[in-house]
Structure 1
């Protein structure tokens, strides 16, 4: 027996439901390091969407995507910093996240592609450093 493939709005709803279940499963089974990596990926994806919306002149889409990126950086990445244990490094990282948020806000308010690119570069650089540190930590820990 074959099932017809869902089309239209109903098909999109089904696809989103499957994607949501997949993401939920991934989050529930992730290590703390993997969760931070997922936050970087999500923030970078939101910034990439914002860049596309900006190029296409879609103000509402740009605003929504930038708001999502800001939320991920502020409520996810910055909130996960252990300020007491991290010392100066943690303070510098929090200040960098504040700079990213400020650039995202300015990018949205002024439709400023350069500010958006700067935020993307900073997120990408920190995310790459995080991935490298997480991989070397995983490689050096006993199995």
Structure 2
């Protein structure tokens, strides 16, 4: 058991370093990946009636969606940023409703949205990298 503590510390340090050194594009993808992972875990927990775990995972999804909202540059982003803010807010509220009602069905459109936008941002990042070469 004692051997796992240094490994856990090393892993936490590695995760912290990867966040601190990631490009903005990579950070965005990390947020979407985390949102998808925690949403899936929350959905499974609801289906298993493990409401404590469901709540913990769905709060993480809410936090990720909130982070996506507050990092938008509303001045430079204009209407696009405004529309993204509304989408993130809508889906964050859907996660809140699903968490309150313990309704896994409400999470399906959120998962579809996160997957679609994750793929879209990944493709945009690839296009920008290719264009920069």
TM bucket by the smaller chain?
over 0.9
- The secondary structure found in structure 1 opposite 2:22 is coil
Deviation at 1:11, TM superposition (A): 4.8
Q: Deviations over 1:9-62 (max 9, x none)?
A: x45544432321221121122111111111111111111110121121111110
Please identify the structure whose Cα radius of gyration is greater: 1
Deviation at 1:139, TM superposition (A): 0.9
Structure 1: tracts of 5 or more residues without a match: 1-6
C-alpha contact 1:46 1:69 (8 A) present in aligned 2: yes
TM-score by length of 2: 0.92
Residue 17 of structure 1 corresponds to: 9
Q: Deviations over 1:78-134 (max 9, x none)?
A: 111111111111111101001110110111111111111111111111111111101
Structure with more relative contact order (C-alpha pairs < 8 Å, separation 6 or more) = 2
- The secondary structure found in structure 2 opposite 1:81 is coil
Paired with 1:15 and 1:54, the residues of 2 have a C-alpha distance of: 31
TM-score by length of 1: 0.86
Paired with 2:46 and 2:3, the residues of 1 have a C-alpha distance of: 28
Residue 4 of structure 1 corresponds to: none
